[in-house]
Structure 1
Amino acid sequence: MTNETHKKVATEPNDLGRFFIERANAGDVDGLVALYEPDAVLAFPPGNLATGHDQIRAVYERFVAAAPVLTPGRQHPALVSGDLALTSATLTNGDVTVEVARRQPDGTWLWAADQPSVGP
């Protein structure tokens, strides 16, 4: 399946969370990986760390293969300090996501660190 969702870029830190839901529901692994800096860290599945695009891609290939249907949770306002932002959402199951986004030289935002399930 070819997906075009990854062509959108995050102009605000909270765009990343919206794009994640869209791209995961579309099965767009490339689009999911494109939300991260090349050396980003993803703590998923719980208890595991994936570092860099290759490892993050492997995680999302397995994730998308399970064909999850994600429902947007409640996105919290981003806490921005210069070129860094803390993003967070409360998921429909009560878990909380926490991410660190960084403004890129072109003004767009990418995640540098992603903890997608902190628990209730």
Structure 2
Amino acid sequence: MTSADPRQPAREPNDLGRFFLERVNAGDLDGLVALYEPDAVLEFPPGTVVVGHEQIRRVYSELLAARPRLEPGVQAPALAHGDLALTSTRLTDGGATAEIARRQADGTWLWAVDQPTVR
């Protein structure tokens, strides 16, 4: 992220979910990828596991091509222990998400593991 980049870093684990929603709805591919650690694991679409920024970028590029408009769900308070936190959101379609966020050396948070389609 450059000093001219208007994106805010996640100062709290639950910032990641809010930023995800904002960035999907804005079509911000670079911003979505920036929410993840460089070697993060994402299962999306369901049954497909991808690892790392390059593969995550490919997945979200396909998602954003459809120009989705996501509605906010109900975010649970993050369950944190040391430098790890479990984040989750109940979605409007009855599903849920579950993610593991890790505190970075600079005190910000990034997702290390993302399971966006828990049923």
- Normalised to the residue count of structure 1, the TM-score between the two structures is 0.94
1:72 match: secondary structure: coil
The 1:6/1:16 distance shift into structure 2, 3 A limit, reads: farther
- Percent identical across equivalent pairs? 66
What amino acid is the match of 2:70? L
Alignment partner, residue 34 of structure 2? 34
Do the aligned partners of 1:6 and 1:32 also contact (CA within 8 Å) in 2? no
SS at match of 1:42: strand
Corresponding residue for residue 105 of structure 1: 105
Separation of aligned partners in 2, 1:6 and 1:47? 34
Q: Distance in 2 between the 1:95 and 1:6 partners?
A: 31
Distance in 1, matches of 2:71 and 2:116, equals: 14
Q: Report the Cα offset of residue 7 of structure 1.
A: 1.8
Alignment of 1:35-54 (within 5 A): 35-54=35-54
Q: Which residue of 1 aligns with 2:85?
A: 85
Contact 1:80 1:86 in 2 (8 A): yes
Q: Are residue 19 (structure 1) and residue 19 (structure 2) matched? A: yes
Q: Tell me, what secondary structure is at the counterpart of 1:8?
A: coil
Q: Give the 3-state SS of the residue equivalent to 1:117 in structure 2.
A: strand
List, as ranges, runs of 4+ consecutive aligned residues in structure 1 with deviation greater than 4 Å: none
CA deviations over 1:29-79 (Å, ceiling 9, x no partner): 000000000000000000001100000000000000011100000000000
Greater strand percent: which structure?
2
Ranges in structure 2 where 5+ consecutive residues have no aligned partner: none
* 1:65–1:6 Cα change, 3 Å: farther
Distance 1:8 1:63, change over 3 A: same
